[in-house]
């Protein structure tokens, strides 16, 4: 019988100059709370592209769509599907066919009602507006957005009933003052945000976990906003433009989303090196190359992350700039540990990461081998399309643990496997 204990180790240095050394410890026998897949997508798919073989292994947790022509494919992937009403309505700044909703609330309400009636048979999350704090997506004052939200919320409740999941405000960044205004307005007006949303698009994501914990304490667990009925937190756009093809940065984001208690996350889309938007070319927001649809190193990194979701075990590091994700195995999937290195300052040096794995000694005594798959990062942030390279490691056995050191270059990641 062939089986494996896989350690996909992604170390992410999130702030400051990269340290020269770090130590990571994994306890494969100590389970932690089961986590959802907090990777997901914004647009990035069409009804017939890309191939299912490029989508299914990623097992996305969320898919934000502005049109539902690809709803069936997104749903089949296992993702929860979000319909962004403002994308369907259109943005005047992007030559949308409508004006801003406050210019004609009757037309806005009629559009929302029509969408609700058309798609009431689908299992959807309803997001009302995207980035009302960003001038390209909202013109006018914040009060106008709040009224736009309240009117759409009322129509959706009338058409879909009390169990429909409606959310917002999908701010372009974590802004406690604007979130407070939104929450207080809804409590006073009688609208809800069943999932509370904002975006995290900075290269430095060290504050992400704290933002999530703060939002949960205030809007979900705290007594002031019970009427908001905010049952979940979604960071429904993340990954800075410079981080799109940096494996270490991707792991840091997923780590902080999981540890902060996010129920869902989604990768943002940007223009690629050829100035083509990855939102609408069916490349899974740039995980694939245009036209040829070749997996990039970011695709392989997300594939490694997806393989470990739902089976998290205890992992620690002695360096606050390092993030670690580890997973136990099952009858069909091996345990894994994810390590990536993501400095956010220029001129970072390589890092020597000492890895200590507890709970694999029996496998090694039985003849298991250790392999490391490198998820390299281009120094300019360009997409790498070659398959990850794999090499053998020889761990030292100390006090029942397997110990080895990886030297990691800035922004890269490793998948380390203990295979019998």
pLDDT tens track for 278-316: 999 999 999 999 999 999 999 999 999 999 999 999 998
Lowest-pLDDT range of 15-19, 146-150, 165-169, 386-390: 15-19
Question: pLDDT band at residue 180, thresholds of 50, 70 and 90?
Answer: very high
pLDDT value of position 344: 80
CA distance 418 to 413: 17
pLDDT value of position 4: 45
Mean pLDDT of the chain: 92
CA distance 288 to 269: 12
**Residues 311-335, mean pLDDT to the nearest whole number:** 84
Question: pLDDT band at residue 322, thresholds of 50, 70 and 90?
Answer: confident
The beta strands (E) that lie in 150-246 are given as 165-171, 195-200, 232-238
**Residues 168-183, mean pLDDT to the nearest whole number:** 99
DSSP state of 394: -
CATH class given for the domain over 4-34+310-419: mainly beta
Contacts of residue 203, defined as CB under 8 A and 6 or more positions apart, other chains included, come to 240, 242, 243, 249, 344
Sign of the CA dihedral 397, 399, 405, 410?
positive
For tokens 């093809």, what's the residue?
A: 245
Task: Find, among 306, 270, 304, the residue nearest to 383 by Cα.
Answer: 270
CA distance 212 to 252: 15
Task: Find, among 334, 200, 319, the residue nearest to 254 by Cα.
Answer: 200
Is the pLDDT confidence value at 241 over 60? yes
> Rounded to a whole number, what is the distance in angstroms from the first to the last CA of the chain?
9
Choose the most confident range, by mean pLDDT, from 130-144, 366-380, 402-416: 130-144
CA distance 200 to 195: 16
**CB-CB neighbours of 316 under 10 Å:** 13
Is the pLDDT confidence value at 239 over 90? yes
Question: pLDDT band at residue 20, thresholds of 50, 70 and 90?
Answer: low
**Residues 108-122, mean pLDDT to the nearest whole number:** 99
Is the pLDDT confidence value at 18 over 60? no
pLDDT tens track for 54-113: 999 999 999 999 999 999 999 999 999 999 999 999 999 988 889 999 999 999 999 999
pLDDT value of position 15: 44
Question: pLDDT band at residue 220, thresholds of 50, 70 and 90?
Answer: very high
| CATH architecture classification, 40-308 | Alpha-Beta Barrel (3.20)
The string of DSSP codes covering 175-201 is -HHHHHHHHHHHHHHT---SEEEEEE-
Domain coordinates of the chain in residue numbers?
Answer: 4-34+310-419, 40-308
Q: Between residues 92 and 369, which one has the greater pLDDT?
A: 92
Lowest-pLDDT range of 77-81, 85-89, 148-152, 273-277: 273-277
Task: Find, among 138, 32, 142, 125, the residue nearest to 92 by Cα.
Answer: 138
């Amino acid at each position: 019988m062939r089986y494996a204990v896989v350690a996909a180790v992604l170390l992410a240095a999130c702030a400051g100059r990269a340290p020269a050394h770090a130590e990571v410890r994994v306890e494969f026998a100590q389970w932690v709370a089961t986590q959802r897949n907090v990777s997901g997508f914004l647009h990035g798919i069409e009804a017939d592209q890309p191939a299912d073989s490029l989508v299914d292994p990623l097992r996305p947790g969320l898919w934000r769509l502005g049109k539902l022509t690809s709803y069936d494919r997104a749903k089949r992937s296992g993702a929860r599907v979000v319909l962004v009403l403002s994308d369907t309505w259109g943005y005047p700044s992007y030559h949308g066919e409508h004006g801003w909703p406050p210019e004609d609330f009757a037309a806005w309400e009629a559009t929302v009602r029509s969408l609700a009636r058309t798609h009431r048979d689908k299992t959807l999350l309803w997001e009302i507006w995207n980035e009302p704090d960003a001038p390209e997506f909202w013109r006018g004052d914040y009060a106008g957005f709040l009224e736009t939200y309240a009117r759409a919320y009322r129509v959706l409740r009338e058409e879909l009933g009390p169990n429909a999941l409606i959310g917002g405000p999908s701010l372009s960044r974590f802004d406690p003052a604007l979130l407070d205004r939104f929450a207080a307005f809804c409590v006073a007006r009688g609208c809800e945000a069943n999932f509370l949303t904002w975006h995290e698009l900075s290269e430095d994501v060290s504050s992400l976990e704290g933002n999530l914990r703060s939002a949960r304490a205030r809007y979900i667990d705290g007594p002031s906003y019970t009427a908001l009925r905010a049952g979940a937190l979604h960071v429904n756009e993340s990954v800075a433009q410079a981080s799109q093809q940096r494996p270490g940065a991707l792991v840091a984001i997923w780590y902080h989303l999981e540890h902060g208690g996010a129920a869902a996350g989604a990768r943002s889309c940007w223009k690629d090196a050829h100035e083509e938007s990855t939102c609408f070319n069916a490349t899974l927001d740039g995980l694939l190359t245009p036209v040829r649809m070749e997996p990039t190193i970011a695709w392989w990194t997300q594939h490694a992350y997806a393989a470990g979701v739902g089976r998290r075990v205890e992992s620690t590091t002695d360096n606050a700039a390092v993030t670690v994700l580890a997973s136990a195995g099952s009858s069909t999937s091996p345990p894994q540990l994810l390590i990536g290195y993501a400095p956010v300052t220029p001129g970072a040096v390589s890092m020597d990461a000492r890895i200590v794995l507890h709970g694999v000694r029996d496998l090694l005594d039985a003849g298991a081998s250790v392999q490391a798959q490198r998820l390299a990062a281009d120094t300019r942030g360009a997409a790498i399309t070659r398959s990850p390279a794999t090499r053998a490691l020889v761990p030292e056995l100390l006090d029942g643990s397997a110990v080895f050191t990886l030297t990691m270059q800035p922004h890269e990641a490793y998948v380390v496997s203990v295979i019998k």
